[in-house]
Structure 1
Amino acid sequence: MIPTLTTQRLTLRPFRLDDADFLFDMYSRWEVQRFIGREPKVMTDRTEAIERAQRLASLDHPVHGVWAITETETGRQHGALLLKELPASGSTEPLQPSGNIEIGWHLHPDAWGRGYATEAATRVLQHAFDNGVSRVLAVTYPQNAASQRVALRIGMRDLGITEDYYNATCALFGIDRPAESPATPPTE
């Protein structure tokens, strides 16, 4: 089961089937979708959101996942935070894992500019490093300055432009586990 994580303002929880309406509202907006995927497109049918909610709700991994970013005090949803295997560029579909871990964020426009992506991503990085992940990468469209600013705010370094992932030209960012973070999951 994907663990629930918390920050000062946010609860990062597994997605549920009843999140379909939020997912449809967020992913049916061009301003959200324009920098997602090799060929960005908006959701046009609520059935797509139901299918995505079902897929996200079924994820079961102790470290990787896709979390619903929610405001702890109100329960209001703000977006999604991803920590997953990063696909390598290649000639066959589906693309194969690169051996690297990717962090990413998709925020509803109503949540932009409030620091939610930075806060959520910082917490998920901590979760990854506490569970033995040694390096996390982020890829963005080269034009996606807002996501690049988030990557820098969470301590990632700009690693330049690459075509190593997603069969796309991406701006690449990376961060290594700090020396003081445990190399293996804590035991209690």
Structure 2
Amino acid sequence: MTLSTLQTKRLTLRALAPRDARVIAKALNNFAISKWLTMVPFPYGVTDAEWFINENLKGRFNARLIWRGDSLIGTVGLDSELGYWLAEDAWGRGYATEAAQAVVNDHFAANDSAIYASHFTENKGSQNVLQKLGFVDIGPDVHFSMARQEDVPVRNMELTRAGWAVRHSD
């Protein structure tokens, strides 16, 4: 399945391509980012990025790269859960919320199923993004972090179509 390109006011969200491996590896080889993610090892190299791109091309993941102009600033995806990461120099500017909102809009334009997400309990930035989108906390869990090589407490979150409509009706 080929993902459509989504455009927001400041960002372009597009499907991954083999040519993106080096730029993804460069951006994601940062423990300040990978420590907040479950499936991302640290260090993170080109081989890891190639694997991720190939899995996307096979349809295992539905991630899009987040570009601001000609700079890669992260990824956002929605498969079993909504997930995202941003390059450290892009934090605190609303990009994660903007990108995730576009993906959620795209999802609810095509179907009614709820969206799930989770965040490491101590990751207040990600918690804030999910709350801004209208996600509600549905309970605790534990996920293994490959970068940390340990189980980390998380909060599971849910966003229903009705919850989205209430927050985002214009």
Q: TM-score, normalised by structure 2?
A: 0.81
1:21 & 1:136 partners in 2: Cα distance?
A: 31
Q: Is the 8 A contact 1:70 1:76 kept in 2?
A: yes
Cα distance change of structure 1 residues 144 and 179 upon mapping to structure 2, 3 Å threshold: closer
| Runs of 4+ that moved beyond 4 A | 165-168
Secondary structure of residue in 2 paired with 1:13: strand
Matched residue type, 1:121: A
Structure 1: stretches of 5+ with no match in the other structure: 86-101, 182-188
Residue aligning to 1:185: none
Q: Is the 8 A contact 2:115 2:158 kept in 1?
A: yes
Residue aligning to 2:23: 22
Residue aligning to 1:41: 41
Residue aligning to 1:66: 63
**Across the two proteins, how many residue pairs are aligned to each other?**
158
Q: How far is 1:49 from its partner?
A: 2.1
Matched residue type, 2:38: G
2:76 to 76, 81, 84: 81
Cα distance change of structure 1 residues 9 and 45 upon mapping to structure 2, 3 Å threshold: closer
RMSD: 2.4
Q: Is the 8 A contact 1:2 1:60 kept in 2?
A: no
- Post-superposition Cα deviations, 1:45-75, rounded to whole Å, max 9, x if no partner, equal 322222323333x1449xx71010112xx23
Q: Is the 8 A contact 1:24 1:43 kept in 2?
A: no
Secondary structure of residue in 2 paired with 1:127: helix
Structure 2: stretches of 5+ with no match in the other structure: 145-150, 166-170
Q: Is the 8 A contact 1:59 1:65 kept in 2?
A: no
1:110 & 1:11 partners in 2: Cα distance?
A: 17
- Post-superposition Cα deviations, 1:52-111, rounded to whole Å, max 9, x if no partner, equal 23333x1449xx71010112xx232110001012xxxxxxxxxxxxxxxx1111111111
- Post-superposition Cα deviations, 1:122-165, rounded to whole Å, max 9, x if no partner, equal 111111111114211111111111110110111111223135x7
Q: How far is 1:26 from its partner?
A: 2.2
Cα distance change of structure 1 residues 177 and 44 upon mapping to structure 2, 3 Å threshold: closer
Q: How far is 1:179 from its partner?
A: 8.0
Structure with more contact order per residue of length (Cα contacts < 8 Å, sep ≥ 6): 2
Residue aligning to 1:2: 3
Q: In proportion to residue count, which structure has more helix? A: 2
